[in-house]
A and B are shown apart, each in its own frame.
Chain A
């Protein structure tokens, strides 16, 4: 039987929630295949979730309980922390013995690191950063953001080989959990290469956490966030004055400003910074990269000011203001007070 495989994302010994999104994606693919192929149900691909770990049993059981899908605990002796070398080798050994049509991983720092190499190892096609799974009469195809998130590209893999897919986190909604329908859990032991993990070419030293005093961002009702549209560091003063108009506010920033050293990391909103969900988010001159959007998409009301009317941020906004952000804030601050 053909399989749709999901590589669970494990970080510091715990299952990351993006794993449930991958299962939702796998179910969507399975549903499309059963709808489009007029074949008896037993020949449909089955979903199997793979959990790599040195001790996968408890994690595998938890995933099986949570999803009701079959789980393979990939036991790698001596495995401590994720490295691409170990994942590509051990997953490659395991999956080569199977007949998958689709292999799903998360489009995260971990999935992006091993998926392209694993695809080549398995002679598979590889499509990264998927935000939609779709089909037509020819079969399944996938959409992925390109050109600074201004367009989606539709990509179809060759039908005669398996395809490795990485799914954008935060896009595929996890299904409600089906507790009580625990499926089979298999533990398979596979050693890394001919060697032990200690002899891998990549040696993890330690996982560090960047210190971040982001309480101001986390606690604010209104976040006024600055992007490249502010043009220069000195103009951040204007953003602060804008934020001061509100009683419970904080100043946020997009990644490029932090990278350029204009503002501290504790202000960075996004996947690699702080994830926020204030009542109002005012995006000032932010174009809207997917990593930034993912960091503020649960905001109640998004207001965006950008001079480019096609900026991706406008697609994620409740109020769209097409204007030069500096000019707009000047106008706002000099409004005759109507009170």
Chain B
């Protein structure tokens, strides 16, 4: 069984997107718990699309236990469309016949949650988003999952493999990279690709970012001034005035 995990570098520190770390953890957990129940050994590959600095999260993924890493090297850009990313990742996914493709429910920076379900459509695979539970061990042609909905509801599904799942936080606790993996991670080769390697002509986004704004205030916050003790005293008198304390 072959699993592909799509990961993204986010934030000023250039760390792995938190939700993608949950997806990678789940893939590694599946590998450890289904290796004996599946007809063939389980492998976990990872892929990312991002600038050259994204190599950092591929090394981290190796440290956690991933087998192979693909890197679609892109230009540094303020806005990358989910649509363009989904086509790039799908082109890599097509090179190997994966049984399961996992990614985070969304990225922490763009918060769109579109890459996973778009990949499913491009690859013509079934897809479930916001997966909070996967039933193990895997034994054959299907995977049983629960998808998170609002107000504590969960949607139980049995999905035919191959499939795309996007993973919600709370499904697991991602492991830290282990030392022996980290040492071999530095020797592992990252398979780098450019968009030109993947496509005859560039994929064009269907929308563009035209600016950024500070969100407006929903309430007119009164800011308490002074030392921490002053602020505590002010809050106390406010609550006392309202007869709450």
Contact = CB atoms under 8 A, between A and B. Distances in A.
Residue of B126, B148, B214 with highest tally of chain A CB at under 10 A: B126
Interface string B175-214: 0000000000000000000000000000000111111111
B62 to A, nearest CB: 25
Interface stretch (A30-38, A52-60, A142-150): A142-150
26 contacts: A81-B155, A82-B155, A109-B148, A109-B149, A112-B129, A116-B114, A119-B118, A125-B83, A144-B112, A153-B209, A154-B211, A156-B210, A201-B159, A207-B155, A246-B239, A255-B170, A272-B150, A273-B152, A315-B216, A318-B219, A318-B222, A320-B221, A320-B223, A324-B228, A331-B231, A338-B236
Contact of B170 (A114, A259, A328): A259
A108 B232 contact: no
A116 B117 contact: yes
B150 A126 contact: no
B109 interface: yes
Given A154-B210, A156-B210, A332 B157 contact: no
B128 interface: yes
B109 A321 contact: no
B50 to A, nearest CB: 16
A85 B129 CA distance: 12
Given A205-B158, A312-B215, 16 more contacts: A109-B129, A109-B148, A112-B117, A113-B127, A116-B121, A126-B82, A141-B210, A146-B111, A153-B110, A155-B208, A156-B207, A156-B208, A202-B157, A205-B144, A208-B154, A246-B239
A325 B245 CA distance: 19
Interface string A301-339: 111100000001011111111111001100110010010
B153 A209 contact: yes
Contacts of B209: 153-155
B159 A151 contact: no
Contact of A319 (B79, B121, B159, B221): B221
B148 A335 contact: no
A36 to B, nearest CB: 16
Contacts of A11: 149
Interface of A: 11, 81-85, 88, 108-110, 112-117, 119-121, 124-129, 131, 141, 143-158, 161, 163, 201-210, 212, 221-222, 245-246, 255-256, 258-260, 265, 271-273, 275, 279-280, 293, 297, 301-304, 312, 314-324, 327-328, 331-332, 335, 338
A319 B238 contact: yes
A210 B118 contact: no
Nearest to B170: A259
Contact of A246 (B117, B155, B229, B244): B244
A153 to B, nearest CB: 6
A60 to B, nearest CB: 23
Contacts of B235: 303, 319, 321, 332
B137 interface: no
Contacts of A128: 112-114
Contacts of A260: 173
Report the interface size class on chain B: 35 or more
A320 B234 CA distance: 11
Nearest to B162: A201
A126 B109 CA distance: 17
A302 B217 CA distance: 13
Contacts of A320: 221-224
A204 B157 contact: yes
Contacts of B153: 207-210
B169 interface: yes
Nearest to B117: A116
B160 interface: yes
A331 B223 CA distance: 18
Nearest to A316: B218
A282 B129 CA distance: 32
A147 B150 contact: no
B217 A315 contact: yes
Contacts of B222: 318-320
Contacts of A110: 149
Contacts of A148: 108, 111
Interface string B158-176: 1110010000011001000
